C-alpha cells in the first residue's frame, strides 16, 4: 500500500483497539466496569471520594478534616487544614519498605554513560542539598529559580526546595537571559540553582553565563545566591560573594545528611511554572502541595498502571510541566524506577530512544507526538535507525502528550514501537491541570487513534458553547471542566485577576474551568478529540508559545521592525510552526538575498529574546499588514496566507491589495 492510501485508510477507519488480556490482567483499573464504578463513586460523593484517595495515597503530618473548600471560588482549596511535605512523600515514605534500596533513577548522560541512584541514596543527596539551601538562608515560602540540565541534580534541586518548603520555579534550559530575568522578577526569587553548562547532542551549552546575563539586565536585586552545579570541567565566571559551587554549598552545611522535612499546609505553593498565555506576559501557574502531589501519584497508578517492576521513562524536560509531574514528583511518589536522559533523541543517531529502551528494559515509555513524527521520518530515510534494530519487548505501555497525536503517527507508534501489544495512552492535560485529565486507561479503555478518549474519574469535562451551555456529541465547542479537582491551578502568581479572567469566564458563571482548547466528542462513544487552542497560543513541538509574546519580541527590535503579527500554521513534524508577518521601518527588502539576511537576523533576535524554540519558521515581509477599516489586523487572512491556502476572505476593505502578493513569499 502506498503511504498516501495508508494514511487515508487510517483517517476514515475509526478503528477501535480494545485492551488485550495482557493489558487488562492485574491492571489497577481493569475493564470499563471498574472505570465506571470509580466515576460513579466520584459523582455520588466527590468529597468522600477525594478524601479517601488523599488519605490512601499521601502521608500527612497533620490529617486534613476539610476536603474541598469552595467558599472563595474560583480560588478553590483542597485538604486546606492538612499538613504534609512533598519530598517526604516522594522519599522518606519509602524508607523501611522494599522501595528503600530500589533504583530510583537510571541516569543516561548525553555521552551514553549511566549512573544509578537508589531511593535511600536519593534521600541522602536531597537532604544534604536541602541543608545547603538552608545554610544559604533560604526559608520556607522563598522562591527559588531552577535553571538546570536534565540530570539527577536537577531533580535533587526541586526536591530539596520542596523539602524546606521553598517554592521552586523551574525555567527550561532553552530559555533566554531575558526570559529568565522576567521570571526572577515576577517570582521575586532569592536564589538561582543552575549548572555551569549543559550537554546536549555532544555540545556544551552555557547556563551559568545566561544566568549572569539575565541578572545583569536589572531588577533582580532579590537574588542573594547562585548555586552552580559543575556539570563539566569547563571554566565559568564567578561573581564573588554571590556564587557558590554545589560542593562549596554542601561544605557550608558540613555535608549534614539528614534534614527533617518541613511540614507545610496542603495549599502551600509547591511551585510556580511559567507558561504562555494570550498576552505578551507569561503566566506564573501556581500549584498547591497536597492536591498536586495526590494527582501526580494517582495518575502514575491510573494512567500508567504502575507496577513494582516497571521501568518508567518520560522523555520530557524538567523545565516543562510534564517533567515536573512525571519526572520530578509522580514516579518518586509512586516508588517507580525511572530513566532520566540528558541528551537529545537524534544524537549520536536517531535510534537513540529505541536503543535506550532496549538497554534499560523500559516498560512504560512516555513521549511527545513531535518526537515520534521526527523519528518516523528518520527511520524511513535510514534503515539503521529504524526501531526494528532494537529489542523493544520490555515495553508494556506507551504514552503520548503535548499535542494531538495524528492517527498516522499513532499507528506507527502502535506497530513499530508497541508491536501491536502495548496500549497507547494519549494523555490530554495542561500546565494548569497539574496532571492528566482526559486519557485512556491502559487496562480498560478501548482506544481510538487520535482521541484522548474519556475523562479520569472525578473530572467533569464537557464541551460547551460561549455561554457555558452543553453541546451534544458531534458538535465542536469549548472544552471545560465543570467541577474543581485537586491538582488544578490555584492562581496566577501575582495576578489573581488574570487567573479569574483567563480560566473562569463570567459568561459561564465564573466557576467553570475553561481549558482554552476546542474539542468535540464522538457520536458513538462520547470520546473526546482535541481540535486545538482557541486562544492566541501556539503549540510547537508540544511547547506552548504565545503569538503576542513573539510579536512583542519582534517589535522590540526597534532599529528594524515597525510592526509584526504572528500566527501558526500546520507543520508535519512540529505540529504547528510559527509564522511571522513583518513590516520593516526601512521598507520592504528589495531582493531575496536581503530578505534572507533580515530573516536570519530576526530569528536570532527572537532566540535571544525568548529562546530558540520561539524562532519563526517562516518570515514574510510586507510594506503593511492586511487590516480592516477599523485598523484590526486580519488574522484569519494571515492564517490562510501562512498555510498557503487560496484566499476566500473578503479583501475588498484592504487599503493596499498589493500586500497580499508581497506576503506570498516566506523566508
**Residue carrying the nine cell digits 501556539:** 538
Site residues for ligand WT7, window 268-287 (CB under 6 A)? 275
429 binds ligand WT7, rule: CB under 6 A: yes
Our CB check for ligand WT7 shows the closer of 242 and 281 to be: 281
SS3 391: coil
431 binds ligand WT7, rule: CB under 6 A: yes
163 HSE (CA, 13 A, CB side): 31
401 binds ligand WT7, rule: CB under 6 A: yes
644 is in an annotated binding site: no
103 within 8 A of 120, measured Cβ to Cβ: no
533 is in an annotated binding site: yes
197 within 8 A of 231, measured Cβ to Cβ: yes
428 within 8 A of 530, measured Cβ to Cβ: yes
427 binds ligand WT7, rule: CB under 6 A: yes
174 binds ligand WT7, rule: CB under 6 A: no
403 is in an annotated binding site: yes
Our CB check for ligand WT7 shows the closer of 125 and 283 to be: 283
Site residues for ligand WT7, window 538-557 (CB under 6 A)? 539, 542, 544
541 is in an annotated binding site: yes
Beta partners for residue 366, in sequence order: 314, 399
399 is in an annotated binding site: no
Q: Least Å distance between CB 389 and ligand WT7? A: 28
Our CB check for ligand WT7 shows the closer of 386 and 544 to be: 544
Our CB check for ligand WT7 shows the closer of 211 and 340 to be: 340
Query: Which helix or strand (DSSP H or E) is residue 496 part of?
Result: helix 496-503
Draw the binding track, 313-352, toward ligand WT7 (x: CB under 6 A; -: no contact): --------xx------------------------------
416 binds ligand WT7, rule: CB under 6 A: no
Instruction: Characterize the bridge pairing of strands 364-367 and 311-314.
Output: parallel
**Three-state secondary structure readout of 234-252:** CCCCCCCCCEEEHHHHHHH
Site residues for ligand WT7, window 462-481 (CB under 6 A)? none
Our CB check for ligand WT7 shows the closer of 161 and 515 to be: 515
322 is in an annotated binding site: yes
Burial of 370 (0-12, 13-18, 19+ CB in 10 A): buried
Q: Per CB under 6 A, which region of 353-361, 415-423, 426-434, 501-509 contacts ligand WT7? A: 426-434
Q: Least Å distance between CB 330 and ligand WT7? A: 12
201 is in an annotated binding site: yes
582 is in an annotated binding site: no
Q: Return the DSSP state at 326.
A: I
Looking at 188-255, list the stretches that DSSP marks H as alpha helix, in order from N- to C-terminal side. Answer: 208-216, 246-252
Size of the site for ligand WT7 (CB under 6 A): 22
Q: Per CB under 6 A, which region of 255-263, 379-387, 401-409, 554-562 contacts ligand WT7? A: 401-409
Site residues for ligand WT7, window 516-535 (CB under 6 A)? 516-517, 530, 533
428 is in an annotated binding site: yes
Q: DSSP labels for 265-309?
A: ETTSEEEEEEE--SSSSPEEEEEEHHHHHHHHHHHHHHTS---TT
Name the residue among 522, 512, 430 with its Cα closest to residue 464.
512
Q: Given phi > 0 = left and psi -120 to 50 = alpha, else beta, which region is 205? A: beta
CB environment 556-581: b (16+ within 10 A), e (fewer): ebeeebebbbbbbbebeebbbbbbbb
> Degrees (nearest 5) of the Cα angle 201, 207, 211?
160
402 binds ligand WT7, rule: CB under 6 A: yes
452 binds ligand WT7, rule: CB under 6 A: yes
The residue from 426, 536, 609, 618 that contacts ligand WT7 (CB under 6 A) is 426
576 binds ligand WT7, rule: CB under 6 A: no
Q: Return the DSSP state at 262.
A: P
Burial of 661 (0-12, 13-18, 19+ CB in 10 A): exposed
Residue stretches of the annotated binding site for CoA: 200-203, 322, 541
Residues that bind ligand WT7 (CB under 6 A): 275, 321-322, 401-404, 426-431, 452, 515-517, 530, 533, 539, 542, 544
Binding site residue list for ATP: 402-404, 426-431, 517, 533, 544
Amino acid at each position: 500500500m502506498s503511504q498516501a492510501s495508508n494514511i487515508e485508510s487510517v483517517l476514515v477507519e475509526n478503528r477501535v483497539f480494545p485492551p488485550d488480556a495482557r493489558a487488562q490482567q492485574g491492571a489497577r483499573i481493569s475493564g470499563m466496569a471498574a472505570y465506571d464504578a470509580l466515576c460513579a463513586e466520584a459523582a455520588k460523593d466527590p468529597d468522600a471520594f477525594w478524601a479517601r484517595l488523599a488519605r490512601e495515597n499521601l502521608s500527612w503530618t497533620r490529617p486534613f478534616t476539610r476536603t474541598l473548600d469552595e467558599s472563595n471560588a474560583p480560588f478553590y482549596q483542597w485538604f486546606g487544614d492538612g499538613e504534609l511535605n512533598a519530598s517526604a512523600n516522594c522519599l522518606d515514605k519509602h524508607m523501611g519498605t522494599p522501595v528503600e534500596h530500589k533504583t530510583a533513577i537510571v541516569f543516561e548522560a548525553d555521552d551514553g554513560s549511566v549512573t544509578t541512584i537508589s531511593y535511600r541514596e536519593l534521600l541522602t543527596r536531597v537532604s544534604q542539598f536541602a541543608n545547603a539551601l538552608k545554610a544559604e538562608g533560604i526559608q520556607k515560602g522563598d522562591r527559588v529559580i531552577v535553571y538546570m540540565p536534565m540530570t539527577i541534580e536537577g531533580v535533587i534541586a526541586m526536591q530539596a526546595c520542596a523539602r524546606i518548603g521553598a517554592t521552586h520555579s523551574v525555567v527550561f534550559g532553552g530559555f533566554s537571559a531575558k526570559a529568565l530575568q522576567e521570571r526572577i522578577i515576577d517570582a521575586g526569587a532569592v536564589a538561582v540553582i543552575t549548572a555551569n553548562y549543559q550537554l546536549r547532542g555532544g555540545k556544551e551549552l552555557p547556563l551559568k553565563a545566561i544566568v549572569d546575563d539575565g541578572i545583569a539586565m536589572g531588577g533582580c536585586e532579590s537574588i542573594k545566591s547562585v548555586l552552580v552545579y559543575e556539570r563539566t570541567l569547563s571554566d565559568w565566571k564567578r561573581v564573588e560573594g554571590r556564587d557558590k559551587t554545589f560542593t562549596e554549598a554542601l561544605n557550608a552545611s558540613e555535608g549534614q545528611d539528614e534534614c527533617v522535612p518541613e511540614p507545610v499546609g496542603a495549599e502551600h505553593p509547591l511551585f510556580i511554572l511559567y507558561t504562555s498565555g494570550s498576552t505578551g506576559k507569561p503566566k506564573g501557574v501556581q500549584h498547591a502541595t497536597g492536591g498536586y502531589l495526590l494527582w501526580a501519584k494517582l495518575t502514575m497508578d491510573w494512567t500508567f498502571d504502575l507496577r513494582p517492576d516497571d521501568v518508567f521513562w518520560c522523555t520530557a524536560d524538567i523545565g516543562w510541566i510534564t517533567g515536573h509531574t512525571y519526572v520530578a514528583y509522580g514516579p518518586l511518589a509512586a516508588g517507580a524506577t525511572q530513566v532520566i536522559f540528558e541528551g537529545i533523541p537524534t544524537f549520536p543517531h536517531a535510534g537513540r530512544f529505541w536503543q535506550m529502551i532496549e538497554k534499560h528494559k523500559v516498560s512504560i515509555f512516555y513521549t511527545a507526538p513531535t518526537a515520534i513524527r521526527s523519528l518516523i521520518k528518520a527511520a524511513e530515510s535510514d534503515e539503521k535507525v529504524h526501531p526494528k534494530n532494537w529489542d523493544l519487548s520490555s515495553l508494556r505501555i506507551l504514552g503520548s502528550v503535548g499535542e494531538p497525536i495524528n492517527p498516522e503517527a499513532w499507528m506507527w507508534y502502535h506497530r513499530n514501537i508497541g508491536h501491536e501489544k502495548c496500549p497507547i495512552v494519549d494523555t490530554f492535560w495542561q500546565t494548569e491541570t497539574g496532571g492528566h485529565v482526559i486519557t485512556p486507561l491502559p487496562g480498560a479503555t478501548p482506544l481510538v487513534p487520535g482521541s484522548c478518549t474519556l475523562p479520569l474519574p472525578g473530572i467533569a469535562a464537557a464541551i460547551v458553547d460561549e455561554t457555558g451551555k452543553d453541546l451534544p456529541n458531534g458538535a465542536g465547542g469549548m472544552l471545560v471542566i465543570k467541577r474543581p479537582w485537586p491538582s488544578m491551578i490555584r492562581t496566577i502568581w501575582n495576578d489573581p485577576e488574570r487567573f479569574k479572567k483567563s480560566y473562569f469566564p463570567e459568561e459561564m458563571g465564573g466557576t467553570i474551568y475553561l481549558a482554552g482548547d476546542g474539542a468535540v466528542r464522538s457520536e458513538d462513544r462520547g470520546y473526546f478529540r482535541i481540535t486545538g487552542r482557541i486562544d492566541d497560543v501556539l503549540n510547537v513541538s508540544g511547547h506552548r508559545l504565545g503569538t503576542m509574546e513573539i510579536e512583542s519580541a519582534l517589535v522590540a527590535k526597534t532599529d528594524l521592525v515597525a510592526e509584526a503579527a504572528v500566527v501558526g500554521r500546520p507543520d508535519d513534524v512540529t505540529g504547528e510552526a510559527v509564522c511571522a508577518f513583518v513590516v520593516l521601518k526601512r521598507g520592504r527588502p528589495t531582493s531575496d538575498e536581503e530578505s534572507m539576511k533580515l530573516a536570519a537576523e530576526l530569528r536570532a533576535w527572537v532566540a535571544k529574546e525568548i529562546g530558540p524554540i520561539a524562532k519563526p519558521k517562516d518570515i514574510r515581509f510586507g510594506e503593511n499588514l492586511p487590516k480592516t477599516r477599523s485598523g484590526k489586523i486580519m488574522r484569519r487572512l494571515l492564517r490562510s496566507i501562512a498555510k498557503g491556502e487560496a484566499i476566500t476572505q473578503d479583501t475588498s476593505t484592504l487599503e493596499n491589495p498589493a500586500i497580499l502578493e508581497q506576503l506570498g513569499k516566506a523566508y
